[in-house]
Amino acid sequence: MRFWVITIFPEIVYASMISVLRKAIDRGLIDVKAINPRDFTHDRHRTVDDEPYGGGSGMVMKVEPIVSAINYVKERDPETRVILLTPRGKVFNQNIAKEYSKLPSLTFICGRYEGIDDRVSYFVDDEVSIGDFVLSGGEYAFLVIFDAVARLIPGVVGDADSIAEESFSDGLLEYPQYTRPDYFMGYGVPEVLRSGNHERIRRWRRFMRLKITFERRPDLLKNAKLTEEDRLFLEAVIRGRGYVY
């Protein structure tokens, strides 16, 4: 899968390609290329920003260098989906990550400074935000989305089961994990996990996922895929009966 990033800070993008993502790049599963809008300017100072019409503080990113960069990418990769990273966009989530991971190519536009000339929006397919807070640049939003999407591409993360089981893949938070030692500062590992009884362990993990989701993110339960067993577990959680199954 191809990722293009339109950014005046290509070094942020390239310096972050480490660990799992670096290996995926080296193995040819994904390809990342940063395109600098400065390379599409024609003045001596390679100007990518200017004062806002109507006045006000800060600078605004100019439309021409960004649209020239989009056109450069589209000429080389016509099937790419162009995404503007902006706090105004649709909020990114695991469903969007899944959708993007099935596409052959994505192009992300990272805004900087106080904003970007609004006319850029006529040249993009989607506008996406990563949450209700303000970042100084879209580069960090790109890194978040890139990690979430890339790890869904077959082969990028070793164990397919670990992806299927983890938080949000079925709308629930993850169950608690433990490793040695059995006791740490008086805190033990739940007995059931050392029982060797795989059915009990499965039920306990499912129960804990439902309990933790109910306690911390009840909003997620609305869209979760629940079985008959899940409903019994949830009822026990709601009545405060603890782990009874």
E strand or H helix at 208: helix 198-216
138 binds ligand 6GU (CB under 6 A): yes
Which residue, 69 or 143, has its beta carbon nearer to ligand 6GU?
143
173 binds ligand 6GU (CB under 6 A): no
* Contact between residue 83 and residue 5 where contact means Cβ atoms under 8 Å apart: no
87 binds ligand 6GU (CB under 6 A): yes
Which residue, 6 or 210, has its beta carbon nearer to ligand 6GU?
6
Rounded to the nearest whole angstrom, what is the least distance from the CB of residue 137 to ligand 6GU in the complex? 6
Residue 198 CA to its chain's centroid (Å): 32
Q: What is the Cβ-side half-sphere exposure of residue 233, based on CA atoms within 13 angstroms?
A: 21
Residue 75 CB partners (closer than 8 Å, separation 6+): none
Identified binder of ligand 6GU from the candidate list 59, 135, 220, 221, rule CB under 6 A: 135
141 binds ligand 6GU (CB under 6 A): yes
* Contact between residue 134 and residue 59 where contact means Cβ atoms under 8 Å apart: no
Q: What are the angstrom distances between the C-alpha of 168 and each of 30, 96, 143, 221?
A: 23, 12, 19, 11
Rounded to the nearest whole angstrom, what is the least distance from the CB of residue 129 to ligand 6GU in the complex? 4
129 binds ligand 6GU (CB under 6 A): yes
Identified binder of ligand 6GU from the candidate list 134, 164, 196, 242, rule CB under 6 A: 134
Rounded to the nearest whole angstrom, what is the least distance from the CB of residue 85 to ligand 6GU in the complex? 4
Identified binder of ligand 6GU from the candidate list 6, 24, 130, 156, rule CB under 6 A: 130
Cα–Cα distance for residue pair 70/78, rounded to 1 Å: 10
Give me the residue label for tokens 């935000």.
Answer: 129
Question: Strand, coil or helix: what is 187?
Answer: strand
104 binds ligand 6GU (CB under 6 A): no
Task: Please give the biggest Cα pair distance in the chain.
Answer: 72
CA angle 141, 105, 87 (to 5 degrees): 25
Nearest to 32 by CA among 6, 71, 8: 6
Stretch that binds ligand 6GU, among 25-33, 40-48, 125-133, 218-226 (CB under 6 A): 125-133
Which residue, 12 or 135, has its beta carbon nearer to ligand 6GU?
135
Stretch that binds ligand 6GU, among 29-37, 80-88, 118-126, 159-167 (CB under 6 A): 80-88
Which chain residues interact with ligand 6GU by CB under 6 A? 85-87, 111, 129-131, 133-135, 137-138, 141
